[in-house]
């Protein structure tokens, strides 16, 4: 049955289909509250169908697709994203709510990720290893199999590309679960993949809730690997679910990222970076700068200038080019952020913001004022817990030793930043700050298609997104031995020291 323009089915077996669950969810725009679309939600039977479709593709046409053809298809999908960038940008902006100036870059990065892996898949290779005698030994890199991929609501199209591109390059088949609130651009990517020629079943997209659809997908016996981006709490539960069957799992989780502003910092540059890192995308990104650790020598000047800049930020509909800060994802998020703002009032000094934004047209959407707290203690809840909103805590410091201790005092280790003119201190920050991403004279946000992305401690389980590193965890090593001597030759483990006794 055909799906109308304003309705979205599940993408299974190369086409949009209606859900066996019968569940369809009404989606609204976070900026205006206006109806946006009706999207199908997958139930257990739909997940079963998607996994079966992926397995059939892997055992059939997709599994037989040679690397050069996989590369061509990934390039074609990148071209399709570029050709449809205006539609994808508007759809993402309306679904998530963030400023369109940000989304334009995210759609461009989406295309770049497909294009980078189209070229990088040529590096998926084993190697020959001489071991002596009449034996040939070599290694192969093989696709890990059917991959379940779960992406969050804040970067639907870019996170989908981060997951899909390396898995497809490695030759895996995928069942992708976007967040039920923001599935639209991921589903459109599915359609584009069919249009450019990906075999049915290579890519399947099934939106749904985590406790039902997500759990069934993660625990499905037909899934060989799980890749998840989201909260640390959910990631921990996924690890538990994958433990008994010893299923491959990679996790990219939370962050509580610091920007350190030293006494010799270029304050103009630091201010520009803080505004973008703390309040861009309304603070709804894992790399958002939620802690500003400022040397006391420049603390008062910096806080005063930051207050003035934040006070001039324009809140509004993300579709408007004049908007600096869009809405947060929904009213539940508004209430959560407001709860942290109330906690902050008891723990520190409120500089600006601290309330939902309800004036004029903003009353129609889910907006929260950009918020700054100062004189924040390092162990305060607002300095320790991930708020995921436009809230920044300023922590004054006097020494480098104190700074390092505060930077590393949280359970996360995703991104860190230092602003200084001292090259020696810059290199000390890379050595001393416990994080997977380290920046100097740059904010905490950003990612490149060719560089590993991820963090330490509770930010993940050691794997990395993007770049060559991501290809590694979508493939398996196989060691091959060919003995052409015509007689028994014992392996190294059976001969070492034995012949010397």
Angle between helices 400-407 and 423-432 (to 10 degrees): 40
SS3 452: coil
- The two structure tokens encoding residue 159: 């996170």
Alpha-carbon gap, residue 263 to 298, rounded angstroms: 6
E-state strands within 61-188:
135-143, 146-150, 173-177
What the chain holds in terms of domains, given with CATH numbers, is 49-253+460-479 (3.40.605.10), 257-440 (3.40.309.10)
Helix, strand, coil proportions of the chain in percent (round to 5)? 40, 20, 35
Backbone angles phi, psi at 141, to 5 degrees: -110, 120
Angle between helices 267-274 and 296-311 (to 10 degrees): 50
Alpha-carbon gap, residue 249 to 239, rounded angstroms: 7
Cα 51 off chain centre by: 23
Q: 149 and 55 in contact (C-beta within 8 Å)?
A: no
The torsion region of residue 191 among left (phi > 0), alpha (psi -120 to 50) and beta comes to alpha
Q: Give me the active site residues, please.
A: 163, 252, 286, 465
Q: 471 and 124 in contact (C-beta within 8 Å)?
A: yes
Which residues in 15-24 are b (16+ Cβ under 10 Å) and which e? ebbebbbebb
Give the DSSP H/E element, type plus range, for residue 429: helix 423-432
In the prediction, which pLDDT does 402 show? Answer: 98
Alpha-carbon gap, residue 130 to 169, rounded angstroms: 29
Torsion over CA: 487, 492, 496, 498 (sign): negative
Q: What is the DSSP letter of 214?
A: I
Output the tens digit of pLDDT for each of the chain's 501 residues.
Answer: 233 347 899 999 999 999 998 999 999 999 999 999 999 999 999 999 999 999 999 999 999 999 999 999 999 999 999 999 999 999 999 999 999 999 999 999 999 999 999 999 888 888 887 777 788 889 999 999 999 999 999 999 999 999 999 999 999 999 999 999 999 999 999 999 999 999 999 999 999 999 999 999 999 999 999 999 999 999 999 999 999 999 999 999 999 999 999 999 999 999 999 999 999 999 999 999 999 999 999 999 999 999 999 999 999 999 999 999 999 999 999 999 999 999 999 999 999 999 999 999 999 999 999 999 999 999 999 999 999 999 999 999 999 999 999 999 999 999 999 999 999 999 999 999 999 999 999 999 988 888 899 999 999 998 999 988 888 889 999 999 888 888 888 776 666 555 555
Question: Any idea which residue has 């990517």 for tokens?
Answer: 189
Q: Is 30 exposed, middle or buried (0-12, 13-18, 19+ CB in 10 A)?
A: buried
Q: 366 and 328 in contact (C-beta within 8 Å)?
A: yes
Q: 406 and 397 in contact (C-beta within 8 Å)?
A: yes
Q: 342 and 300 in contact (C-beta within 8 Å)?
A: no
CB contact set of 78 (below 8 Å; sequence gap of 6+): 111, 112, 114, 115, 118
Nearest alpha-carbon partner for 256 in 376, 96, 150: 376
Nearest alpha-carbon partner for 74 in 39, 124, 12, 2: 124
| Measured CA distances, 367 to 154, 278, 309, 336 (Å) | 15, 15, 18, 12
- The two structure tokens encoding residue 173: 């088949």
In the prediction, which pLDDT does 488 show? Answer: 83
Alpha-carbon gap, residue 328 to 338, rounded angstroms: 12
In the prediction, which pLDDT does 1 show? Answer: 29
In the prediction, which pLDDT does 121 show? Answer: 87
Alpha-carbon gap, residue 170 to 184, rounded angstroms: 26
Task: Report the relative pairing of strands 257-261 and 415-419 from DSSP bridges.
Answer: parallel
Alpha-carbon gap, residue 235 to 246, rounded angstroms: 15
Q: What is the DSSP letter of 398?
A: S
Nearest alpha-carbon partner for 456 in 253, 284, 285, 238: 253
In the prediction, which pLDDT does 497 show? Answer: 58
- The two structure tokens encoding residue 451: 């560089």
Alpha-carbon gap, residue 11 to 423, rounded angstroms: 51
Nearest alpha-carbon partner for 285 in 130, 144, 131, 153: 153
Nearest alpha-carbon partner for 92 in 108, 77, 80: 108
Alpha-carbon gap, residue 24 to 55, rounded angstroms: 26
In the prediction, which pLDDT does 21 show? Answer: 86
Torsion over CA: 57, 63, 65, 70 (sign): positive
Q: Is 501 exposed, middle or buried (0-12, 13-18, 19+ CB in 10 A)?
A: exposed
Question: Any idea which residue has 């290694």 for tokens?
Answer: 139
SS3 211: helix
């Amino acid at each position: 049955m055909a799906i109308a323009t304003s309705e979205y089915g599940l993408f299974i077996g190369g086409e949009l289909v209606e859900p066996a669950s019968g569940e369809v969810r009404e989606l609204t725009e976070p900026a205006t509250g206006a109806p946006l679309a009706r999207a199908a939600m997958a139930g257990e039977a739909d997940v079963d169908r998607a996994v079966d479709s992926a397995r059939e593709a892997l055992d059939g046409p997709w599994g037989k697709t040679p690397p050069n053809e996989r590369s061509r298809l990934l390039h074609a999908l990148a071209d399709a994203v570029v050709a449809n960038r205006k539609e994808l940008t508007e759809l993402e902006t309306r679904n998530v709510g963030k400023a369109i100036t940000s989304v334009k870059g995210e759609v461009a990065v989406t295309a770049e990720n497909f294009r980078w892996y189209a070229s990088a898949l040529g590096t998926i290779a084993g190697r020959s290893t001489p071991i002596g005698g009449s034996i040939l030994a070599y290694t192969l890199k093989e696709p890990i199999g059917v991959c379940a991929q779960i992406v969050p609501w804040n970067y639907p199209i870019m996170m989908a590309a981060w997951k899909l591109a390396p898995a497809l390059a490695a030759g895996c088949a995928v069942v992708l679960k976007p967040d039920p609130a923001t599935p639209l651009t991921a589903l459109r990517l599915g359609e584009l993949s069919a249009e450019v020629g990906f075999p049915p079943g290579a890519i399947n997209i099934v939106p749904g809730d985590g406790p039902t659809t997500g759990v069934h997908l993660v625990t499905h016996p037909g899934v060989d690997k799980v890749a998840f981006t989201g909260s640390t709490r959910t990631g921990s539960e996924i690890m538990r679910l994958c433990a008994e069957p010893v299923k491959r799992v990679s996790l990219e989780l939370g962050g509580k990222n610091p920007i350190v502003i030293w006494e010799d910092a270029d304050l103009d540059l630091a201010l520009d970076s803080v505004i973008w890192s703390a309040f861009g995308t309304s603070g709804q990104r894992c790399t958002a700068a939620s802690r500003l650790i400022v040397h006391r020598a420049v603390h008062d000047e910096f806080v005063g200038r930051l207050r003035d800049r934040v006070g001039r930020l324009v809140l509004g509909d993300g579709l408007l080019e004049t908007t600096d800060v869009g809405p947060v994802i929904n009213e539940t998020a508004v209430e959560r952020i407001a709860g942290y703002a109330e906690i902050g009032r008891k723990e520190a000094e409120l500089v600006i913001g601290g309330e939902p934004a309800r004036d004029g047209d903003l009353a129609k959407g889910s907006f929260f004022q950009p918020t700054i707290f100062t004189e924040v203690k390092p162990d305060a809840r607002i300095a320790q817990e991930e708020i995921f909103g436009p809230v920044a805590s300023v922590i004054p410091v006097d020494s480098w030793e104190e700074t390092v201790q505060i930077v590393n005092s949280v359970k996360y280790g995703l991104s860190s930043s230092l602003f200084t003119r001292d090259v020696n201190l810059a290199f000390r920050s890379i050595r001393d700050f416990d994080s997977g991403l380290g920046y100097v004279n740059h904010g905490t946000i950003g990612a490149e298609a060719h560089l590993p992305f991820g963090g330490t401690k509770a930010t993940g389980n050691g794997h990395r997104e993007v770049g060559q590193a991501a290809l590694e965890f979508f493939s398996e090593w196989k060691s091959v031995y060919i003995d052409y001597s015509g007689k028994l030759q014992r392996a190294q483990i059976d001969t070492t020291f034995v012949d010397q006794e």
